[in-house]
Chains A and B, each alone.
Chain A
Amino acid sequence: MGAGDEPVDRAPAVRPFLVTAGRVAGADADPGATPPMPVETQLVATAAGLERLDLMSFERHDIVAACRRPQSVAEIAAILRLHLNVVRVLAEDLAAGGHLSVYVPSADIARDVSVLRRVIDGLRTIPGSRGTVRDSD
Chain B
Amino acid sequence: MVSAPSPAPGGQSVTATEAPGRAAPPLPVKMVVAGGFGVGKTTAVGAISEIRPLTTEAAITEVAAGVDDLSHTPHKTTTTVAMDFGCLTIDDGLKLYLFGTPGQERFGFMWDDLVQGALGGLVIVDTRRLDDCYAAVDYFEHRGIPFAVAVNAFDGHVEHTLDEVRWALDVAESVPVITFDARERGSVRDALLVVLDVALTRAGG
Chain B residue with the shortest CB-CB distance to A109: B11
> What residues make up the interface of A, taking CB atoms closer than 8 Å to B?
1-11, 13, 15-16, 26-28, 34-44, 46-48, 69-70, 72, 74-75, 77-79, 83-85, 91-92, 95-96, 98, 101-113, 115-124, 126-136
0/1 interface trace, chain B 33-66, chain A, CB 8 Å (1 if under): 0000110001000001000111111110100000
A-side contacts of B203, CB under 8 Å: 110-113, 116
Cα–Cα, bound, A38→B113 (Å):
7
The answer, among A9, A35, A101, A110, for a CB contact under 8 Å with B55, is A9
The answer, among A11, A101, A122, for a CB contact under 8 Å with B94, is A122
Contacts A104-B2, A116-B199 given: A132-B18 contact, CB under 8 Å?
Answer: no
CB distance from A81 to the nearest CB of B (A): 8
The answer, among B25, B90, B99, for a CB contact under 8 Å with A74, is B99
Are A10 and B82 in touch, CB under 8 angstroms?
A: yes
B-side contacts of A119, CB under 8 Å: 29, 90, 94, 96, 119, 196
The stretch of B67-75, B133-141, B187-195 in contact with A is B187-195
Cα–Cα, bound, A4→B44 (Å):
13
A-side contacts of B84, CB under 8 Å: 5, 7-8
Contacts A110-B199, A112-B203 given: A78-B54 contact, CB under 8 Å?
Answer: yes
Chain B residue with the shortest CB-CB distance to A91: B2
The answer, among A39, A44, A46, A135, for a CB contact under 8 Å with B25, is A44
A-B contact list, 28 entries, CB within 8 Å: A1-B37, A10-B82, A11-B55, A11-B56, A28-B109, A39-B30, A39-B99, A40-B28, A42-B28, A44-B23, A46-B17, A69-B23, A72-B28, A77-B57, A84-B56, A102-B14, A103-B13, A104-B5, A105-B11, A105-B29, A110-B29, A110-B117, A119-B96, A122-B88, A131-B186, A132-B178, A132-B179, A135-B163
Are A84 and B61 in touch, CB under 8 angstroms?
A: no
Are A4 and B116 in touch, CB under 8 angstroms?
A: no
Contacts A120-B200, A133-B162 given: A108-B192 contact, CB under 8 Å?
Answer: no
Are B181 and A123 in touch, CB under 8 angstroms?
A: no
Are B22 and A47 in touch, CB under 8 angstroms?
A: yes
Cα–Cα, bound, A135→B179 (Å):
8
CB distance from A97 to the nearest CB of B (A): 8
Chain A residue with the shortest CB-CB distance to B5: A104
Are A27 and B28 in touch, CB under 8 angstroms?
A: no
Are A74 and B29 in touch, CB under 8 angstroms?
A: no
A-side contacts of B190, CB under 8 Å: 130-132
A-side contacts of B113, CB under 8 Å: 26-27, 36, 39, 84
B-side contacts of A74, CB under 8 Å: 54, 56, 85, 97, 99
Are B90 and A8 in touch, CB under 8 angstroms?
A: no
0/1 interface trace, chain B 85-123, chain A, CB 8 Å (1 if under): 101111100101101000000000100111011111000
